[in-house]
């Protein structure tokens, strides 16, 4: 998962979510953000929600 793979803490994860939202012009609700545990999860979410 992000925390282990990237040696990230919870603030790093929040920063990552904000960066993904900005970079891909999407909104990631908190409940969805909590489910994004791996890079694959993030990619799947972006592909499904990008315009």
The residues assigned a catalytic role are: 9
Helix extents (H) in the chain: 2-5, 10-24, 30-33, 39-49
- Which DSSP state fits 36? -
User: From CA 21, how far away is CA 4, in angstroms rounded?
Assistant: 22
């Amino acid at each position: 998962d992000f925390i282990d793979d990237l040696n990230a803490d919870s603030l790093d994860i929040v920063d990552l979510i904000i960066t993904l939202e900005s970079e891909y012009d999407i909104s990631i609700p908190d409940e969805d953000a909590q489910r994004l545990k791996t890079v694959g999860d993030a990619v799947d979410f972006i592909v499904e929600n990008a315009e």
